[in-house]
Amino acid sequence: MMNGTAQEFQNMANQYNQMMMDTWSSWTKQTIQSESFSSASGAFMDWSLATHKMMTELSGQVMESLDIPKRSDLARLSAQIQSVETRILEQEDNQDDIKDLLVELTKKLDNLKAAPAAAPAKAPVVAAAATTPVKAEAKVNEEEKTAKPAAKAKKKTSSRQKSKARKSSKKS
């Protein structure tokens, strides 16, 4: 419990604090609203912007003299690298397609070579030999049609996975 003197002192301190805050608030408002403050703060902002511009130019010149690349240089190189990576991936996909076609042609040639060797030398068998490669070729085509899309998807996925792995290793 406070006695009368302590209570009076507390009230007087609170009044003093309130008076100081009111005075400070009033003085700050008057200062900020004055014309001299506006012109001084405008001049300071102009000086600050000019100094910032000058420092930016000077640091750019220093970086240039030390042969340190700028952000714009790095961004340009990054875009070029991404373009090259995209073209490489496209070439890998094209090579995979060409490889698949070569495998398919090799199988067809092997089937054509195997068909005449299995047939006897008689004339009626020649007619049968002529139909046999077509059947064998049809079987190979069916097998390739079912196996090829899955193989292509796997190969394309693997080349894309390689690319993603390369990108992630560059980042780390």
Q: Enumerate the H helices of the chain as residue ranges.
A: 4-33, 35-65, 71-118, 123-171
Whether 88 is in a domain gets the answer: yes
The model carries a pTM of 0.35
pLDDT at residue 163 is higher than 70: no
With respect to residue 161, please indicate whether it lies within any of the assigned structural domains: yes
Residue 131 lies in a domain: yes
DSSP state of 66: T
Q: Does residue 30 lie within any of the structural domains?
A: no
* Number of structural domains found in the chain: 1
In a domain, residue 33? The reply is no
Could you list the residue range(s) of the whole structural domain that residue 123 is in? 50-171
* Start-to-end CA span in the chain (Å): 67
* Mean pLDDT, range 17-33, rounded to an integer: 94
Is residue 39, in this structure, part of any structural domain at all?
no
In a domain, 136, yes or no: yes
d(CA 112, CA 133): 6
SS3 state of residue 34: coil
Q: What is the CA radius of gyration of the chain?
A: 43
